[in-house]
Structures are given as structure tokens and as C-alpha cells.
Amino acid sequence: MTPSAEHPQMSVEEFEELARVAPETVTLEFINGRLGVKPAPDGDHATIIMWLVRQCIQQRPDLDLHPELELTVEAYRTGRARADGALAPVGHFAGRQQWATPEGVLMIVEVTSFDPDADARDRKEKPPAYAEAAIPVYLLIDRDTNTLTVFSEPENGTYQQHPTYRYGDTVALPDPVNITLATEKLKDYAH
């Protein structure tokens, strides 16, 4: 039987215990009832996140982009995702528990890794998980296709809008983010 939210591989509590004792070199996620291993970011991955952090700070100093944030996701908060970035008001996550709730998060960012699981994880499983959690914007920076997809307007577990842009395009992130990304620099990190 394929794992799903109705037939998970393990309970959320079992996953959290496993994630708690996992070595620091292993990052685990639990989306749609399935255990996933997220690879460690390479240099270009980390550089792309820092490029985005700088753009966010310059345009919206009232917001912080938190790298590697652990969040509860999905409709009933049964999923656990480690987002590459979570945009929220300054100080929003002060005093939070290990797995923060998505309330108040304006945007989630994922940058694809070059691993076989990236397609299932970042392109297929995470959009509905983030939409079910009512996160207004999900920005997917896809290094396989050199594109950015901006998922927005979550409704009934689906993002209603999801335009895709090429590296080099100007990308206007919608309300409530309201940041315009000049993506020409991303071409420097394309391989």
C-alpha cells in the first residue's frame, strides 16, 4: 500500500521522535503520510537562498526570511516540512516550538535539489501541503528547469494561480508578499 494521509507510514509522534534523534547530517520530512529525506543543500542552493534573503530585506525590512524552518503543514497539521525559507513578520517565530505552525507565514520558498526525490517532494507533494496550510504564497525555484513558479491563492488544498517564469524574468510576488524579484542573477547559479 502506498503511504498517504489516510494510510501513513507512521504516526506524527513517531516521525517527530525519529527526526529528533536523527543525526544533524540528515533532514527528514513527513508529507502526505510519507517519510522523506531532504538532501543537504549544496553551495549554489545556499547562495540562491542568500540572494533571496537580500532581496526580501531590501524591499520588505518588516519581514524576515527564515532559512531551514520546520513547519507543521497540511489541512490538519499532520505533515512536517523543513522549508528552505519561510517569510514572516520580524520576530514572528521568537519562542516557537521545534515544529512551528504556519499561521502568519506569508511565503514558503523551496529550491530544488539535484536528487531523484525532488520531483515528488517539491513539485507534487508540497504545493497541496502548503495550500492546505493556507500559506498565501509558495515560491518554487526549480534548478532543473531554471524557472520560478509562484503558487498563490490557496483554496481547498490547491493553489489557484501558479505562473512560471524563466531565470532573468522580473517576478512580482503577489499580496501579501509584494516583492519584485530581479532574477537575472540566478543565471549565474544555473548548471
For β-strands 164-166 and 170-173, DSSP reports them as unpaired
Question: pLDDT tens across 64-118, in order?
Answer: 999 988 999 987 778 888 899 999 999 999 988 788 999 999 999 999 887 767 6
Q: Which residue has the cell 494521509?
A: 5
Are 16 and 35 in contact by the 8 Å Cβ rule? The answer is: no
| pLDDT confidence of residue 39 | 64
Query: Residues 76, 102, 45, 172: what is their CA dihedral angle, to the nearest 10 degrees?
Result: 110
Distance of CA 18 to the CA centre of its chain: 21
- Provide the residue count of the chain: 191
Q: Is 67 exposed, middle or buried (0-12, 13-18, 19+ CB in 10 A)?
A: middle
Query: What cell numbers appear for 145 in the block?
Result: 528547469
Percent of the chain with pLDDT over 70: 92
What's the rounded Cα separation, in Å, for the pair 33 and 152? 24
What's the rounded Cα separation, in Å, for the pair 148 and 139? 7
Angle value at C-alpha 61, between 58 and 66, nearest 5 degrees: 95
Mean pLDDT for all residues in the chain: 88
Say which residues have a Cβ less than 8 Å from residue 22's Cβ, sequence separation at least 6: 28
Kindly state the average pLDDT of the residues 11-34.
78
What are the DSSP E strand ranges found in 3-136?
27-31, 34-38, 63-73, 79-89, 107-111
Predicted confidence band of residue 16 (pLDDT cuts 50, 70, 90): confident
What's the rounded Cα separation, in Å, for the pair 154 and 54? 26
Domains and their CATH numbers in the chain: 41-189 (3.90.1570.10)
